[in-house]
A and B are shown apart, each in its own frame.
Chain A
Amino acid sequence: MQTRRLSRREVLVGGTAVALTAAAPGRATAQAKELVANTYGGGWEAGHRAAIAQPLEKRGIKVTLVAMLAAELVARTKAAAGGRPPVDVALVDDGPFLLAIKEGVFQQLPMDRIPNAKRVYAKYRAKEPFGVPIGASQIGIAYNARTLKTRPESWADLWKPEYKGHIGLSTPASTLGTVTLLSFARLKGGNEGNVEPGFDAVKSLLPSVSSIQAVPANLRTLLERGEISIAPMWHHDTTIVKMKGTGVEFVLPKEGGIAGLAWLAITKGANTDLALEYLNQGLEPDSQKLMAGAPSYIGPVIEGVEVAPELRGIVPATPADLERLKTLDWPKINEQRAEWIARWNREIKV
């Protein structure tokens, strides 16, 4: 009898507990106007929150931003295939964007329901309507002008003895690292199809390298705290560090920096109507202007957005700025990227 009573009680209490959790605000309901989007953390998150999430919230749409890099995002979305995708709106770089389209992760977009898409520079528009560009970035060399007297002008300058022990690198797990590897490859006569010279170059640079990080944000932290003084870096990360008064400068190497676009796409099974509003809001002139300034410093993708004078040259304001830069053959890179990552893990040790 004692047991039976307790069993009932257990069921009651246990059931209440589970019911409580079901009623918790954490559970996303399909009916409520809620949206989940990923960003790259740090400046990206702050920029997207101010420029997109907050205006949407004023219109009654609750936006949750999660920090997740593109590769993990695509993987998790694929894993959830059929069910609820982990995010409604995906933020991805060029490479993962093309990969995700190929793998059928994103929805085809009804461009007519994104009025602001017309404002996007023609050069930036996607070939197939699976996403809209949201920001333009470039990769160059960040260096601390206070600790290092010589300004690097080319990728080859990284081998200068003055920089020994001050260099930071990123692994091919990130876009930054992949671009770095390819830039080195191109420097030594290779390309997307022949990355061998790139690996050789990295190995020869290793004695000068102080730290290798898988997450670009860690490189930024190290640069900010003076643990490294020179590294290939995104312009926006560099600007964040520069604006803290650390003396860090951004340089486009003479071989050309690398241009990159960040894309917004909608996952399959997402709350499409709300997601379209997110995309559209992201392309609003006011939003683009907000994101081009502090603390995100992301290059605008629509016409008519002014970039502050002190940021010109670092923040790519128009396609003309990016024209001078190289672009990469991402489909070819995507095929080999996993192999490059594995090979880097095996062969490169600092």
Chain B
Amino acid sequence: MGQRVPERAGRLGGRVGHAVFWVAIWTLALAGLLYLLLPTLIIVLASFTAGEYITFPPRGLSLRWFARLMALEEVRTSAWRSLIVATAATAVAVVLGVAAAFPLVRSRFAGREALNAFLMSPLILPSLVYGLAGLMFVSAIGVPLSVPVLVLSHVAIIVPYVIRTTAASLALLDPHLEEAARSLGANAWKTFLRVILPNLLPGIATGAAFAFISSFDNLTVSLFLAGPRVETLPIRLFAMINFDLDPAAAAISAVLVLITFAVVLLAHWAVGLTRVVRL
């Protein structure tokens, strides 16, 4: 490297430097880890408070705010609506995304890279800009805001997840398996159903799970495109927190975190988190 290698003086300084280096690295890393973890943990724990408003540590433990959630009509309605929207959007996204993954992995054609980038672009475009654009588009063509409109706008921003995980799974699929099936007489459709699909399912499931949670959690796009008549859970939560720091909001948050937790577990069980990171 062209450095003069420090000799004896370096050795002792080296050991101290070594320790300092690792202490610094570990301190920053642990700080980062705590920084990542604590807020989520705190809001979940705070939701179990028995008191009138949110503090951390919570004043006494109780499930009263979760019970209150059940009683709040608006919360139940918006949660159900979010569920419908997320399920429908995920279903459409899976159909579109799984299909799109095949040519992206298996075919060679001019512009494949560009097409891939295009299909992934909703991931990097600010959802704020997309929400605004969507609202302008929808009002220009004279369509009133409704659940289907919201579903379709969510599809646009979640389909990249499905494409990505399906493509990754597909790329890892041994083409010999298909050849073997074909040579044994299976037609294209049967091969797809019996050989390809089962091996793709973990990837598709992971993509679908990420797509679902992204839709369920989404606030920014929904703020523009849902409208007061189509209130989703994040919108209701946003309003609750902005108008009143209600512990019921913490209970809703805890439930949302639980769902997210389940999604991450699913992803790990399906493809392993280390694979997810490489997407």
Decide if A and B touch, CB cutoff 8 A: yes
Interface 0/1 of A65-102, CB less than 8 Å to B: 11110000000100110011011000000000000000
Q: Does A31 contact B (CB under 8 A)?
A: no
Q: Does B66 contact A (CB under 8 A)?
A: no
The prevalent SS among residues of B at the interface is helix
> Please, which residues of chain A bring their CB within 8 A of the CB of B113?
none
Q: Does A189 contact B (CB under 8 A)?
A: no
Known interface pairs A1-B188, A21-B148. Does A10 touch B229 (Cβ–Cβ under 8 Å)? no
Tell me whether A21 and B151 are in contact (CB under 8 A): yes
Tell me whether B148 and A26 are in contact (CB under 8 A): no
Q: How far is the CA of A191 from the CA of B83 in the complex (A)?
A: 52
Chain A residues touching B, range: 35 or more
Nearest Cβ on chain B to A206's Cβ, whole angstroms: 25
Tell me whether A66 and B144 are in contact (CB under 8 A): no
Q: How far is the CA of A107 from the CA of B228 in the complex (A)?
A: 19
Nearest Cβ on chain A to B201's Cβ, whole angstroms: 16
> Please, which residues of chain A bring their CB within 8 A of the CB of B99?
6, 10
How many residues on the B side are at the interface (Cβ–Cβ under 8 A)?
Answer: 36
Tell me whether B189 and A21 are in contact (CB under 8 A): no
Tell me whether A215 and B242 are in contact (CB under 8 A): yes
Most buried by B among A5, A20, A215, A244: A20
Contact of A21 among B53, B147, B245 (CB under 8 A): B147
Closest B residue to A10 by CB, please name it. Answer: B95
Tell me whether A67 and B188 are in contact (CB under 8 A): no
Interface hits, B182-214 → A, CB 8 Å: 188-189, 192
Interface 0/1 of B82-102, CB less than 8 Å to A: 001101100110011001000
Closest B residue to A217 by CB, please name it. Answer: B243
Most buried by A among B53, B81, B139, B148: B148
Tell me whether A80 and B144 are in contact (CB under 8 A): yes
Tell me whether A17 and B189 are in contact (CB under 8 A): no
Tell me whether A22 and B52 are in contact (CB under 8 A): no
Q: How far is the CA of A86 from the CA of B96 in the complex (A)?
A: 32
Closest B residue to A12 by CB, please name it. Answer: B95
Contact of B243 among A6, A17, A41 (CB under 8 A): A41
23 A-B pairs, CB-CB below 8 angstroms? A5-B189, A20-B84, A20-B87, A24-B81, A25-B77, A26-B80, A26-B85, A26-B147, A27-B147, A36-B228, A36-B229, A38-B228, A41-B244, A43-B244, A67-B239, A67-B240, A67-B242, A68-B239, A76-B227, A80-B144, A215-B242, A215-B243, A221-B244
Other 9 A-B pairs with CB < 8 A, given A10-B99, A65-B74, A217-B242: A1-B188, A5-B189, A21-B85, A21-B148, A27-B147, A43-B244, A67-B243, A84-B144, A218-B242
Binding site for A on B (CB under 8 A): 52-53, 74, 77, 80-81, 84-85, 87-88, 91-92, 95-96, 99, 139, 142, 144, 146-148, 151, 188-189, 192, 227-231, 239-240, 242-245
Binding site for B on A (CB under 8 A): 1-2, 5-6, 9-10, 13-14, 16-18, 20-22, 24-28, 36, 38, 40-43, 45, 64-68, 76, 79-80, 83-84, 86-87, 215, 217-218, 221, 224, 244
